[in-house]
Amino acid sequence: MPRTAKTVDIPAIGELDRHAGQLSVQLAQALRAAIHKGELKAGDLLPSTRVLSGALQLARGTVLAAFEQLTAEGFLEAQPGSGTRVAMALDRKTPPAAKNPQACDIPLTAQAQALAQFATQRAPLPPVPFTVSVPINDTAPDDVWRRLGNRIRARGPGAPSGYGDPLGALPLRKAICEYVRKSRSVLCTPEQVIITSGTQQGLYLATQIVLDAGDAAWVENPAYRGITAIFDNLLRDRQMARVPVDDQGIDVAAGREIAPQARAAFVTPSHQYPLCMPMSMSRRLELLAWAKEQKAWVVEDDYDSEMRYAGHPFPSLQGLDPARVIYLGTFSKILFPSLRLGYAIVPEPLRDAFCGARVLMDRHPPTADQHVLASFMAQGHLDRHIRRMRGVYAEKRRVLTDAVNAHISPHLAALLPSDQGMHRVLWLKAGLDDLRVAAGAAEAGVAVSALSPMYAPGSGKSGLILGLGGYDDEAIHRAAQKLNRVLVSIAAS
Ligand SMILES: Cc1ncc(COP(=O)(O)O)c(C=O)c1O
């Protein structure tokens, strides 16, 4: 039996695939395409269903069904006694045939252009040194994670179900409440916990909720691009006041001068991102005093406080003033970033607003993953994993520090002192442009992020972020050697 049939006098019908079935749908699609391309014009008379079914070797009912469908859609009109024509109403409405059907002449909004440009800066780094937080070998969660996942997805709470609570799965919210209370002195109930798909979403939701058009917010200078880019690309009707940091964290006195009436402050008190110092207790109290005076919210991004290698971490800012602080945490660093689970702990009056914004954005994160994580935490595996990771990352950090000291010329770069976290900052000397170095390193197979884009325009310093991932020692040393070669060649050019 022949696989295809030729049309008689409608060229666009071309070939119908008889093996694919749904011949009336295929025929309707072919006729629609012919009208779109201008091969069939308004008023053109179509062959009768009898002629067409004979020519295409189709059942007459198949052709009739296609005609009826297109008539219902307004492409065709049937006139008793005079056959079926392409609808006259399409005369001026049929767009001219495009040479390239993908070519688009609709201008992009300023916002679309800004977001597209940001996307080019945020392509994920490849899993090579010095990409941060890449769980390879000894930093990946062990078999327990896989076993729990299999069991919970197969039956029980992780099995397929309907929509879940937009705040997140209750067992996970309870487990998080318990975890942050013990480890970070955060004061909350499970009703204040909202599961997010990572801190990035928490930051985004917070900016939507605590700021109205025209409001200003303090943002540290330098800061994580994930917060500054929200203001740059999306919230251009809200003002981002960049407040410098010094060795005690955000300079509250400077903030009072720059934007005394700001409605919120976005800070990284445990471990300033990217410069690594914790916010001193006196600064914490100063910041909270300003927030109280101004009736402003403080958004605490606590992205990697688990990784402190010496002494005790400062308790959270939230614990000092739970009515004013929105606390954001993530499992990206301590477990793995592709999990896309984090949490926002919000003062009671903000809870419904976060819930509403969450519903409008994506309803809630995948339910099964939340239950896997809840069990992982409830059974004590997360605490064990964190204890193990502290040891592993302390060692990675030592290896990275040794590699930099051994292979990178002190005339070209120097490590910023720090004793916590999952990255180190390498200051570049002698006018070395960090963007150029990052691009050169990428070509050499080394992943580093440039520091200067994290500063407000005109205040940038040149440096690199070197992340601690789960790479072996040899790979880290090789990467440091390659990075040095890049630095030497750029310094000489
Ligand atoms: C300072 C800071 N905040 C937030 C995030 C976002 O983390 P998540 O993966 O949870 O969205 C990161 C990730 O690197 C970060 O460094």
Atom 7 (ligand 1) nearest CA: 199
For residues 407 and 464, membership in a common domain is answered with yes
Domain that holds residue 410: 385-492
For residues 348 and 397, membership in a common domain is answered with no
- Domain CATH for 259: 3.40.640.10
Identify whether 109 is part of a domain. no
The pLDDT value recorded for residue 14 is 67
Identify whether 404 is part of a domain. yes
Identify whether 103 is part of a domain. no
What are the tens digits of pLDDT across the range 404-446?
999 999 999 999 999 899 999 999 997 899 999 999 999 999 9
Q: Which of 200, 307, 425, 468 to mutate to test the pocket of ligand 1 (most atoms within 8 A of CB)?
A: 200
> Coil, strand or helix: which one is 267?
strand
Identify whether 97 is part of a domain. no
Q: In sequence order, which residues have a C-beta less than 8 Å from that of residue 85 and are 6 or more positions away?
A: 43, 44, 45, 46, 76, 77, 78, 79
H helical segments located in 94-187: 110-121, 143-154, 170-184
330, 364, 379 - which closes a domain: 379
For residues 202 and 285, membership in a common domain is answered with yes
For residues 232 and 317, membership in a common domain is answered with yes
Identify whether 132 is part of a domain. no
What are the tens digits of pLDDT across the range 155-202?
889 898 999 999 999 999 999 999 999 999 999 999 999 999 999 999
For residues 83 and 147, membership in a common domain is answered with no
In the predicted structure, residue 96 carries a pLDDT above the cut 80: no
In the predicted structure, residue 471 carries a pLDDT above the cut 70: yes
Query: How many folded domains does the chain comprise?
Result: 3
> How far apart (Å, rounded) are the C-alpha atoms in residues 288 and 30?
67
Q: Which of 275, 332, 468 to mutate to test the pocket of ligand 1 (most atoms within 8 A of CB)?
A: 332
For residues 300 and 151, membership in a common domain is answered with yes
Question: First and final CA of the chain: distance in angstroms?
Answer: 71
For residues 258 and 350, membership in a common domain is answered with yes
Q: What is the rounded average pLDDT of the residues 331-352?
A: 97
Which has the closest alpha carbon to 395: 473, 331, 464, 447?
473
- Domain CATH for 80: 1.10.10.10
The pLDDT value recorded for residue 58 is 87
In the predicted structure, residue 378 carries a pLDDT above the cut 90: yes
379, 412, 440 - which closes a domain: 379
379, 396, 419 - which closes a domain: 379
For residues 216 and 343, membership in a common domain is answered with yes
What are the tens digits of pLDDT across the range 128-138?
999 998 998 88
By the 8 A CB rule, do 493 and 456 touch? no
CA of 362 to the centre of ligand 1 (A): 19
Identify whether 50 is part of a domain. yes
Of 57-71, 257-271, 456-470, least confident by mean pLDDT is 57-71
Of 24-28, 253-257, 406-410, least confident by mean pLDDT is 24-28
- Domain CATH for 485: 3.90.1150.10
For residues 317 and 374, membership in a common domain is answered with yes
* Binding pocket residue ranges, ligand 1, CB within 6 Å: 198-200, 224, 226, 268, 273, 301, 303, 330, 332, 337, 342
Identify whether 295 is part of a domain. yes
For residues 415 and 351, membership in a common domain is answered with no
For residues 354 and 211, membership in a common domain is answered with yes
The pLDDT value recorded for residue 42 is 86
Q: What is the rounded average pLDDT of the residues 254-269?
A: 98
Identify whether 112 is part of a domain. no
For residues 293 and 393, membership in a common domain is answered with no
Atom 13 (ligand 1) nearest CA: 303
